[in-house]
Amino acid sequence: MTDDPGSHAFDELVRRFNSPLLVVTTCDGHERAGCVVGFHGQCSISPPRYSIWLSRANRTYRIAMFAEYVAIHALGLDDRDIAALFGGTTGDDLDKFAYCAWTSGPSGVPLVDRLPNRMIGRPVAFLDDRAADHVCAVIAPERVSLSASRLRPMYLTDANDVEPGHEAEEGAV
Ligand SMILES: Cc1cc2nc3c(=O)[nH]c(=O)nc-3n(C[C@H](O)[C@H](O)[C@H](O)COP(=O)(O)O)c2cc1C
C-alpha cells in the first residue's frame, strides 16, 4: 500500500512504529500539568538530549512553555489507570494530581510515584513549525532514575481505547 503523506498510509506506518508511551509532567512555579506523550525520541548523544512534542491544545504545553523543569516518565503495561488519567482527561477540567500519588521535584515539577523510570530535565530549546499542531521541546536531562525491575513498556497500540482529553486539531493554527 502506498499513499500520500497525511493520509491512511502515513497513519498506518507510524502506528506500526508503535512508540512507547510517556507521561510528561511540569510546573510553571504556580500550576502543575501533565499528559501522555507518544511523540518523542532521543535527539543528541553528547550532550544527552531528549525531545518531546506537545500539542498546542494541551494544558501541559501551555504550562511547559514557562517551566524550569519537566519530568519524563515511562509508562508500564500495568499503568493503564495512569495512562487513562493523564491521556484521557485534561487539567483544564480536572486536577489530575488529586487522583494519583506524586512527589514534588525541583521547582515543583510533579513526579508520579507509580512511574519510577524517569528523567528530570530543563527545556533548552523549542521547535515550532507554525503549520504543525505539536511543538517540540528539547530537554537536557539532569536526573535519571530507574526501577530495580525491568520495564515492560506500554506502547501506542496498548492505549487504543484512551480518548485524548484534547484533540490535537483544537490547537491547529
Ligand atoms: C496514546 C496517546 C498518545 C498521545 N500523544 C501525545 C503527544 O505526543 N503529545 C501531546 O501533547 N499529547 C498527546 N496525547 C494527548 C494528551 O495526552 C491528552 O490530550 C491529554 O488529555 C492532555 O491533557 P492536558 O490538557 O491536561 O495537558 C496523547 C494521548 C494518547 C491517548
pLDDT at 1: 60
| pLDDT at site 107 | 98
Give the integer Cα–Cα distance in Å for 133 and 56.
Answer: 6
Identity at 99, one-letter amino acid code: Y
Is the Cβ atom of 117 under 6 angstroms away from ligand 1?
no
**CB 90 less than 6 A from any atom of ligand 1:** yes
- In ligand 1, the atom with minimum distance to the C-alpha of 162 is 31
The string of DSSP codes covering 56-83 is TTSHHHHHHTT-S-EEEEEPBTT-HHHH
With a 6 Å cutoff on the Cβ, whether 89 touches ligand 1 is: yes
d(CA 118, CA 121): 10
* 81-123 confidence digits (pLDDT tens): 999 999 999 999 999 999 999 999 999 999 999 999 999 999 9
CA of 83 to the centre of ligand 1 (A): 10
Residue 26 Cβ inside 6 Å of ligand 1? The answer reads no
What domains can you pick out in the chain, each with its CATH number?
22-159+166-171 (2.30.110.10)
pLDDT score at 170: 81
Residue ranges of the chain whose pLDDT lies below 70: 1-6, 171-173
